[in-house]
Amino acid sequence: MNDASHGKTRFRVGGMDCASCATKIENAVSRLPGITEVGISVSAGTMIVTHQGAVPSAAISKQVKALGYSVAEVGAARTAAPTAHVHEHGPNCSHDHAGHHHASHDHAGHDHGDHSGHDHGAATASVAGAGHDHFDLDDGPWWKSRKAKLTIACGAALVAAYAIGQLLPQIGHWAFLAALAVGLVPVARRAYAGAISGTPFSIETLMTIAAVGAVFIGATEEATMVVLLFLIGELLEGVAARRARASIRGLADLVPKTALVEESGATREIAADALQVGAIMLVRPGDRVAADGVIIDGSSTLDEAPVTGESVPKSKTTGDDVFAGTINTDAVLRVRVTAAAADNTIARVIKLVEEAQESKAPTERFIDRFSRYYTPAVLVVGALVAILPPLVAGGSWEEWIYKGLAILLIGCPCALVISTPAAIAAGLSAGARRGLLLKGGAVFEGMRRVTMVALDKTGTLTEGKPKVTDIIGVGHSETKVLSLAAALETGSSHPLALAILGRAKVDGVPIPPANAAKAIAGKGVTANVGGEEVFLASPGAAEEMAGLSAEQNARIAAFNADGKTVSVLLVDGKVAGILAMRDEPRADAIAALARLKDDGIATVMLTGDNETTAKAIGKGLGINVRAGLMPDDKQRIVRELQKQGQIVAKVGDGINDAPALAAADFGVAMGGGTDVALETADAAILHGRVSDIPDMIALSKSVMGNIAQNITIALGLKAVFLVTTIMGITGLWPAILADTGATVLVTANAMRLLAWRGR
């Protein structure tokens, strides 16, 4: 509902590196009048603000900059984007489902949504906040960032103070105090800004209290070291966040900046983002494809590894789709552009990943709520440890205040708060590089529990287009039969005609010209080829015109039993050959279904196709089949499976499968990344590999395992140091090392997921 009274606006935020940064910004912005919801993605560096009336840009900018970040508005956010706190399961599908299972994939008329506001390139955050110590690490190398300069300055001041302390001991204390001020003043400023904008219990607050307290009990040197360690921890966090961002932005770099366009018989170079739908691109060997399109002339091998992760280059020819970012290796191709820059496969991947990062996982929401109570509780525990032993048991005030301050530092919730979003961001990025898109943390958390995968047949388990599987010559060679059949079908766009022409092209068969070609309704196509009357007929029409032998009828019946469509070639009224065609299973379908079975996940095929064809394909794949289904039948079967206690993932093409995709626990759209498929489902498999389904479930398990490890690291280190501090074994330095160390360990552990490649 993006009307005048209610809108969503996307902002880029610079210098936001950790979950506590996001919490501070969220609290500050959500307090503004007219703001109903704030969704933040640390790893994408974005914020989506839902507001009533016009967006209060100036007020938002003022609040965010006061906290020490840069901010820039980048336009209206898509209303389809999941917000920070809501995971809507399956939209209400208003698609037309009356059509047969072989729904056409013509999306030219689809509205692609408002993408104008999205920036898929480098961060556009203004550096208005550059005067603060938070700075957008994406702008230039990390060591030139404000944060790095502050850390280096604090480190240099500490070294200088140590040297002064050795040479002039009488002023050593003041030298350390000056060094402390270098690091602590910016931190205290941020603590104050956070406190007045709704985040009184931030990590900066704990840090400031602990450092000031340490000065009062004469531990100035330790306080300075603690602040330096804290700044190093923040810097490392920033570098890690930058890596996660770069891995997604790296996708944008796959698309070349320029393209060669044909206009009025001449070619000229234009900016890739200026390519219009329908433009004709020239792609030379060695060039990257600048936009999604369809080949209109030429055949070549394309290296799709950068986009799909597929190591073997693919041969493509006229009529085949090509993706932006893939590399043409062999010959010149002429390609008609089918998607503008903002709508190409890679732009949509980036957009979906960013939207997914803005939607929080249930674990993340729980930890956010937990840390809201946890941080004040840490302050109370620290105060009690400092006050009670001296008051009740006559302990030393200095010793117990020191221990209380150490507990404040141990209690910093940074590592805990970042444990989930860091892993999910890395998982989303790793998946996106393989063409696996999961729309948010809730999908990651649930996908690992799937017990049943229901798959569509056409375009999911099969290629979605028929191929010639068998050619039988009767008194003619197979080559001659194919040549004559291709002559009749030249110029036709019927799927079976394209199958015959495709086979002729692959086999290098010459196609002679056909004269006086005409279609005879319900019977076939006839024409004069090289002086002979040639007719490509249905078996019924061939029987009627020429008669078929018992052996020929038996062959046709066997083909039909295998789910194949049969055409009979007649030359001058006599049977000359038989061609059988079928939509064949994808190359990896058998292995992928076996992997699901090995993982204890059941499978079923739900198809609108006829029983004979479906059973023949199902038998070859070893999968149970439910055939002849309408869209509402598929939805009903999904609901029945759920009633039996199954967690169902429905995989389909996203158009005639939309009701079932919405009804399933997880809807997964298959292949090509069509608009409807990407919008309807909870997840999408862009590159049409059946093996990506078990990979997606495996990725979900890897991410959730990583989150469990992260939470264990964060809480385990705190528990150990809490005990050792109260026992007097460890002090302030180890306490901050425990917190910074936990944050760095958690982030580094999450970053391991970036190397995930699937099986």
Q: Where are the alpha helices (DSSP H) in 513-672?
A: 539-545, 550-561, 589-598, 611-621, 631-643, 658-663
Neighbours of 430 (CB within 10 A): 21
Neighbours of 746 (CB within 10 A): 30
* Contact present, 124 and 66 (Cβ < 8 Å): no
**Phi-psi label, residue 512: left if phi above 0, alpha if psi -120 to 50, beta otherwise:** beta
Please name the residues in contact with 555: beta carbons below 8 A apart, sequence gap of 6 or more.
472, 578
> What is the rounded distance in angstroms from the CA atom of residue 135 to the CA atom of residue 148?
9
Respond yes or no: is residue 106 known to be catalytic: no
Rg (CA), the chain: 32
Walk across the sheet containing 321-322 and list its strands: 266-271, 258-263, 280-283, 333-337, 293-297, 321-322
Instruction: Kindly report the backbone phi and psi dihedral angles of residue 208, in degrees, each rounded to the nearest multiple of 5, phi listed first.
Output: -65, -45
Q: Where are the alpha helices (DSSP H) in 511-610?
A: 539-545, 550-561, 589-598
> What is the rounded distance in angstroms from the CA atom of residue 221 to the CA atom of residue 175?
9
**Cα separations in angstroms, 298 against 318, 331, 491, 587, 737:** 6, 7, 17, 25, 61
Residue type at 626 in one-letter notation: R
Angle at 662 between CA 658 and CA 663, to 5 degrees: 115
CA 132 and chain centroid, separation? 32
Q: Where are the alpha helices (DSSP H) in 113-171?
A: 146-167
Q: Give CB contacts under 8 A, 24+ apart, made by 509-516.
A: 509/479, 509/482, 509/483, 510/483, 511/483, 511/486, 511/487, 512/483, 512/484, 512/487, 513/487, 514/487, 514/488, 514/490
> What is the rounded distance in angstroms from the CA atom of residue 5 to the CA atom of residue 52?
5
Residue with tokens 């602590």: 184
* Contact present, 128 and 65 (Cβ < 8 Å): yes
Please name the residues in contact with 495: beta carbons below 8 A apart, sequence gap of 6 or more.
465, 466
**Encoding tokens for residue 539?**
């078996």
Q: Which one of the listed residues 133, 136, 456, 562 is annotated catalytic? A: 456
Q: At what angle do helices 172-196 and 19-30 cross, to 10 degrees?
A: 50
> What is the rounded distance in angstroms from the CA atom of residue 13 to the CA atom of residue 135?
10
**Cα separations in angstroms, 556 against 48, 330, 481:** 60, 40, 16
* Contact present, 492 and 574 (Cβ < 8 Å): no
Q: Quick one: CA dihedral 348, 11, 135, 133, positive or negative?
A: negative
* Contact present, 646 and 602 (Cβ < 8 Å): yes
**Distance spanning both ends of the chain, measured CA to CA:** 41
Instruction: Kindly report the backbone phi and psi dihedral angles of residue 412, in degrees, each rounded to the nearest multiple of 5, phi listed first.
Output: -50, 125
Residue type at 52 in one-letter notation: Q
- The per-residue b/e assignment along 213-235, b for 16 or more CB within 10 angstroms, e otherwise, is bbbebebbbbbbbbbbbbbbbbb
> What is the rounded distance in angstroms from the CA atom of residue 188 to the CA atom of residue 212?
10
Give the active site residues.
456
